[in-house]
C-alpha cells in the first residue's frame, strides 16, 4: 500500500500525496494561487527544485517570477539557456561571458565572435526554439574532483579554477540537453518556463538580455541604455583585466599566495583616482560650480566619498561645506505615509523642498543663513548657532537620497550644479557564467554596517531590502543618466574582506526565518571566495564605512 504524506499550503489548504511525488506534480494543484507559472517550491522554508520529491510531512509554498527568489531563478535559468543556444549555433569554441547586470537585464559577450544585429536575431530565434522544445533542467550531485576533470576536458578553465577553491566534496551541476554547468542556485523545471525575454544589440562586442523584473513581472520592458553607467562598467572591467583579476578564482589565487596587500593598494588607488579627477573638473569650473550633489543606492559609500571629495577640493584651494538633506525633513506630524500607512521618510515630500531651495539660493547670493538641524528624537527641525555664509572659494556639498532629483534644487541654475552618481559597479565575476550583482555587494556591505553600528541582525537587514529596493527604483535610478560624473565605489578585493564579517551573521539566520533562503544563497555565494584579513585596509577606505575603523568617524 502506497504511503501518503500531508502537505500544508500557507495554512489554507492541506492535501495528501503519495510519498516521492515530485514537487512539479504537487505544484499543479496550487497554480491557481499564482499569476505566473510556478518555478520552484518552498518546503519548510527551504527552496527546492520542482524536480525534487517529497518524503515527509511538510509546510509547502511556491515561488513564481514575481518574487525575489523566483526572479533570481528565472534569470539564472535564462543565462543557461542562452549558453546552450550559442553552443548550438557556433559550436564548442564559442565562449559566453555573462559580465554584469544592466537595466533590467544582463550584458553578455562572445569573445572572438562579431555580434551583429543579424547574429543576435539568430541567437534569439534559437532560444525561442529551445523554449518550444521544453527541455528539462536536471540537477546532478557530482564529485567536485570529477567536475573539475570534466570542465578541464571542455577547456572551461574558469570553472576549473573556481572549483579548486571550494572545499565541498560534492557540488550541484545542472544539465539541459547535452550541456553541463555549475550554478549555486536552483533552476526552473524546463525551458518552456522561459518564454519572456529580449536580446538587445549594444555593439559588435556584446548585447543585453532583458527579462521581466519583480516590479514588472508580466512582461519584458524595452531596454533603456544607460550609456555613462555602461561605460563605467566597461572601464572597470578593462582595469580588472589589466591587473589580471576578472573572477573569483583570480582573486583567490592572489589571496592563497598571500599577495593581497598590493591588490588592496591598487584597488584603493583606482577609487581615489576617480575622486581626484572629479575634483580637478570641479576646480576648473569653480567660478560657476557652487553646489556638488551626490546620490546613489544604499551602501554605495556616499558618506566616505563626500568626505574624500572635500579633501581633494581643499587641495585646489576650495572651501567645501557639507549640508545634510536630512536636516530639512518636515516635522514628523507632516511626514507623508506610504501605502501601508507607515511614515515614508524616503519620499521627496518628506523634505521641506521650499525651505531647502530658499536657503541654498540665499547662500549662493552671498547672504548669511541660519541652517536647521533636525532633532530625530523630537521629530522636528531646530535652529541653533549654525550660521553659514559663502565666500568666493566656498562650495556646498550635498549628499543624500534625493540629491539628483531636480525638484530638490529647482531654484538653482544648472550651471551652478555638479551632479555625481555613485554605486559599487562590481566587475568581478565568480566565473564566466556567474556574475556578481551590484545588489549583492551592497547587501553584504549593509548587513555588516547595520550590525556593527545599528545593532541589527542579518535577518532584519534582509527583511528591509525589498523596501530599500523599491525606494531606489523610485527615487534614485530614474536620475542616474542626468549627471556629470559617475563614481564606481566597488573594490576588487572587498568580497574577501566582507566574508570574514558577514558570514557569521548570515549563519545566525534560523531555518524557520523568512529570510533563511536568502541568507543561505549569500552563504553559498561567499563559498566561492577565500577570506582576506582586514588589517591592510587603509583607514580612509570606503570599506571602513561598513566594517569600522574609518579615519573619518573618530
Which pLDDT does position 554 carry in this prediction? 64
Does 386 fall in a domain? Answer: no
Least Cα distance to 140 among 252, 211, 51, 255 occurs for 51
Q: Judge if 87 and 155 occupy the same domain.
A: yes
Does 379 fall in a domain? Answer: no
Within 8 A by CB and 6+ apart from 288, the residues are 415, 416
Does 115 fall in a domain? Answer: yes
Q: Judge if 197 and 239 occupy the same domain.
A: no
The pTM for the full model equals 0.91
Which CATH number belongs to the domain containing residue 133 in this structure? 3.30.980.10
Q: Judge if 299 and 166 occupy the same domain.
A: no
Q: Judge if 80 and 128 occupy the same domain.
A: yes
Look up residue 184 and give its DSSP letter.
Answer: S
Which CATH number belongs to the domain containing residue 21 in this structure? 3.10.20.30
Does 171 fall in a domain? Answer: yes
Q: Judge if 502 and 424 occupy the same domain.
A: yes
Which pLDDT does position 142 carry in this prediction? 92
Which pLDDT does position 427 carry in this prediction? 77
Would you give the distance in Å from CA 12 to the centre of its chain? Answer: 35
Find out whether 256 and 452 touch, Cβ atoms under 8 Å.
Answer: no
When pLDDT is cut at 50, 70 and 90, the band that residue 1 belongs to is low
Which pLDDT does position 446 carry in this prediction? 96
Within 8 A by CB and 6+ apart from 385, the residues are none
Does 336 fall in a domain? Answer: no
Number of domains within the chain: 3
When pLDDT is cut at 50, 70 and 90, the band that residue 469 belongs to is confident
As beta bridge partners, residue 179 has 176
Average pLDDT over every residue of 196-223: 94
Average pLDDT over every residue of 266-275: 97
Q: Name the percent of the chain lying above pLDDT 90.
A: 75
Q: Judge if 59 and 74 occupy the same domain.
A: no
Please state, in angstroms and rounded to a whole number, the distance separating the CA atoms of residues 120 and 103: 18
Among 194, 225, 256, the domain boundary falls at: 225
Choice among 312-321, 425-434, 527-536 with the minimum mean pLDDT: 425-434
Q: Judge if 504 and 469 occupy the same domain.
A: yes
3-class SS letters over 56-111: CCEEEEEECCCCHHHHHHHHHHHHHHHHHHHHHHHCCCCCCEEEEEECCEEEEECC
> Sign of the CA dihedral 446, 447, 448, 451?
positive
Among 203, 225, 247, the domain boundary falls at: 225
Tell me: pLDDT of 388 over 60.
yes
Find out whether 101 and 424 touch, Cβ atoms under 8 Å.
Answer: no
Tell me: pLDDT of 400 over 90.
no
Within 8 A by CB and 6+ apart from 165, the residues are 248, 249, 252, 256, 528, 529, 530
Tell me: pLDDT of 539 over 80.
yes
Does 23 fall in a domain? Answer: yes
pLDDT tens profile 243-256: 999 899 999 999 99
Please state, in angstroms and rounded to a whole number, the distance separating the CA atoms of residues 149 and 134: 29
Q: Judge if 213 and 280 occupy the same domain.
A: no
Please state, in angstroms and rounded to a whole number, the distance separating the CA atoms of residues 212 and 95: 25
Of the two residues 135 and 524, the one the predictor is more confident about is 135
Among 177, 195, 225, the domain boundary falls at: 225
Q: Judge if 42 and 130 occupy the same domain.
A: no
Find out whether 517 and 69 touch, Cβ atoms under 8 Å.
Answer: yes
Average pLDDT over every residue of 184-196: 93
Q: Judge if 178 and 250 occupy the same domain.
A: no
Does 404 fall in a domain? Answer: yes
Q: Judge if 444 and 542 occupy the same domain.
A: yes
Does 331 fall in a domain? Answer: no
pLDDT tens profile 472-508: 888 899 999 899 999 999 999 999 999 999 999 999 9
Q: Determine the structural domain holding residue 8 and report its residue range.
A: 4-64
Q: Judge if 456 and 427 occupy the same domain.
A: yes
Which pLDDT does position 188 carry in this prediction? 96
Residue length of the chain: 554
| 243 CB-contact burial (10 Å; exposed 0-12 / middle 13-18 / buried 19+) | middle
Amino acid at each position: 500500500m502506497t504511503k501518503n504524506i500531508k502537505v500544508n499550503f500557507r495554512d489554507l489548504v492541506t492535501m495528501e500525496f503519495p510519498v516521492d511525488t515530485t514537487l512539479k506534480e504537487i505544484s499543479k494543484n496550487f497554480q491557481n494561487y499564482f499569476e505566473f507559472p510556478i518555478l520552484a517550491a518552498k518546503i519548510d522554508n527551504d527552496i527546492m527544485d520542482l524536480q525534487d520529491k517529497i518524503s515527509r510531512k511538510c509546510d509547502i509554498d511556491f515561488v513564481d517570477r514575481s518574487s525575489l527568489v523566483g526572479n533570481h531563478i528565472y534569470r539564472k535559468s535564462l543565462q543557461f539557456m542562452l549558453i546552450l543556444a550559442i553552443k548550438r549555433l557556433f559550436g564548442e569554441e564559442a565562449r559566453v561571458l555573462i559580465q554584469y547586470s544592466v537595466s533590467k537585464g544582463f550584458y553578455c559577450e562572445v569573445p572572438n565572435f562579431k555580434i551583429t544585429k543579424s547574429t543576435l536575431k539568430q541567437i534569439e530565434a534559437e532560444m525561442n526554439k529551445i523554449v518550444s522544445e521544453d527541455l528539462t533542467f536536471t540537477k546532478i550531485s557530482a564529485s567536485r574532483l570529477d567536475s573539475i576533470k570534466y570542465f578541464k576536458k571542455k577547456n572551461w578553465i574558469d570553472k576549473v579554477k573556481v572549483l579548486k577553491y571550494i572545499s565541498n566534496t560534492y557540488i550541484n551541476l545542472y544539465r539541459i540537453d547535452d550541456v553541463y554547468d555549475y550554478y549555486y542556485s536552483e533552476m526552473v523545471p524546463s525551458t518552456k518556463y522561459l518564454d519572456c525575454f529580449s536580446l538587445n544589440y549594444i555593439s559588435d562586442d556584446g548585447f543585453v538580455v532583458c527579462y521581466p523584473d519583480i516590479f514588472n513581472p508580466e512582461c519584458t520592458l524595452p531596454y533603456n541604455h544607460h550609456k555613462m553607467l555602461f561605460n563605467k562598467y566597461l572601464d572597470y572591467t578593462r582595469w580588472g583585466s589589466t591587473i589580471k583579476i576578472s573572477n573569483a578564482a583570480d582573486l583567490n589565487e592572489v589571496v592563497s599566495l598571500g599577495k593581497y596587500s598590493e591588490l588592496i593598494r591598487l584597488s584603493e588607488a583606482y577609487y581615489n583616482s576617480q575622486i581626484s579627477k572629479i575634483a580637478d573638473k570641479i576646480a576648473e569650473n569653480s567660478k560657476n560650480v557652487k553646489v556638488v550633489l551626490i546620490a546613489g543606492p544604499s551602501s554605495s559609500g556616499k558618506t566616505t566619498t563626500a568626505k574624500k571629495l572635500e579633501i581633494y577640493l581643499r587641495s585646489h584651494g576650495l572651501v567645501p561645506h557639507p549640508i545634510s538633506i536630512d536636516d530639512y525633513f518636515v516635522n514628523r506630524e507632516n511626514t507623508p505615509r506610504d501605502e501601508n500607512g507607515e511614515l515614508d521618510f524616503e519620499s521627496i515630500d518628506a523634505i521641506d523642498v521650499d525651505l531647502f531651495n530658499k536657503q541654498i539660493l540665499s547662500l549662493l547670493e552671498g547672504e548669511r543663513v541660519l541652517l536647521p538641524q533636525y532633532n530625530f528624537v523630537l521629530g522636528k527641525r531646530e535652529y541653533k548657532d549654525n550660521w553659514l555664509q559663502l565666500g568666493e572659494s566656498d562650495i556646498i556639498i550635498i549628499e543624500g537620497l534625493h540629491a539628483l532629483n531636480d525638484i530638490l534644487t529647482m531654484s538653482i541654475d544648472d550651471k551652478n550644479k555638479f551632479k555625481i552618481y555613485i554605486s559599487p559597479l562590481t566587475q568581478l565575476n565568480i566565473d564566466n557564467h556567474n556574475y556578481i550583482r551590484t545588489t549583492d555587494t551592497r547587501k553584504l556591505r549593509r548587513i555588516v554596517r547595520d550590525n556593527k553600528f545599528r545593532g541589527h541582525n542579518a535577518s532584519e537587514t534582509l527583511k528591509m531590502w525589498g523596501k530599500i529596493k523599491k525606494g531606489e527604483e523610485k527615487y534614485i535610478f530614474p536620475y542616474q543618466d542626468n549627471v556629470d560624473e559617475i563614481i564606481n565605489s566597488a573594490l576588487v578585493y572587498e568580497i574577501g574582506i566582507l566574508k570574514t564579517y558577514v558570514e557569521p551573521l548570515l549563519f545566525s539566520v534560523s531555518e524557520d526565518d523568512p529570510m533563511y533562503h536568502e541568507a543561505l544563497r549569500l552563504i553559498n555565494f561567499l563559498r566561492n571566495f577565500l577570506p582576506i584579513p582586514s588589517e591592510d585596509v587603509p583607514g580612509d577606505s570606503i570599506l571602513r564605512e561598513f566594517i569600522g575603523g574609518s579615519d573619518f568617524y573618530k
